[in-house]
């Protein structure tokens, strides 16, 4: 899973945009868990609904991973998540 740390927030970009299953689930229930090995972290997902909020996350991904890789692996850029 690709991610960007932004201060105390974990930024995620759904590979298939708003059609991604975990994104749809987070819309219904913003309480999410991230597990790393045996450690589980309860988090709250904020899902930007405006283009500016989504663009901010996409831009952070572009800075970290580069335009070519972003275009190669991500299909839609209409959804994003900020976990805290």
32: β partners: 43
CA dist 45 to 13, 39, 54, 68, Å? 12, 18, 13, 27
pLDDT in tens, the chain (84 residues): 799 999 999 999 999 999 999 999 999 999 999 998 999 999 999 999 899 999 999 999 999 999 999 999 998 999 999 999
| Domain ranges, residue 27 | 4-83
Write the CATH number for 50. Answer: 2.30.110.10
Distance CA 48, CA 70 (A): 19
Of 53, 34, 56, nearest to 44 by C-alpha is 34
How many structural domains is the chain composed of?
1
């Amino acid at each position: 899973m690709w991610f960007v740390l932004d201060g105390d927030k974990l930024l995620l970009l759904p590979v298939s945009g708003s059609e991604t299953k975990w994104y749809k689930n987070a819309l219904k229930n913003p309480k999410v868990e991230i597990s790393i090995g045996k450690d589980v972290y309860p988090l709250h997902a904020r899902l930007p609904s405006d283009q500016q909020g989504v663009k901010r996350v996409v831009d952070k991904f572009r800075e970290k991973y580069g335009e070519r890789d972003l275009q190669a692996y991500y299909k839609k850029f209409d959804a994003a998540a900020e976990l805290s």
